[in-house]
Amino acid sequence: ELKVEQNPLFLSMQEGKNYTIYCNYSTTSDRLYWYRQDPGKSLESLFVLLSNGAVKQEGRLMASLDTKARLSTLHITAAVHDLSATYFCAGSSNTGKLIFGQGTTLQVKP
Partner 1 sequence: DVKVTQSSRYLVKRTGEKVFLECVQDMDHENMFWYRQDPGLGLRLIYFSYDVKMKEKGDIPEGYSVSREKKERFSLILESASTNQTSMYLCASSLGTANNSPLHFGNGTRLTVT
Residue from 9, 55, 69, 78 binding partner 1 (CB under 8 A): 9
Phi, psi of 69 (to 5 degrees): -85, -5
Is the CA virtual torsion 45, 50, 56, 61 positive or negative? positive
Smallest distance from partner 1 to CB 60, Å: 20
Under 8 Å between Cβ of 44 and 93: no
- Comparing CB distances to partner 1, the nearer of 95 and 110 is 95
Nearer to partner 1, 101 or 108 (CB): 101
Q: How far apart are CA 60 and CA 93, in angstroms?
A: 29
Is 98 an interacting residue with respect to partner 1 (CB under 8 A)?
A: yes
Length of the chain, in residues? 110
Residue 107 CA, distance from chain mean position: 15
Site residue total, partner 1 (CB under 8 A) = 24
Pick between residue 55 and residue 78 the one whose CB is nearest to partner 1: 55
Binding residues for partner 1 restricted to 24-53, rule: CB under 8 A: 31, 33, 35, 41-45, 48, 50
Q: What are phi and psi of 81, to 5 degrees?
A: -55, -35
By CB under 8 A, name the binding residues for partner 1.
Answer: 4, 6, 9, 31, 33, 35, 41-45, 48, 50, 88, 90, 95-103
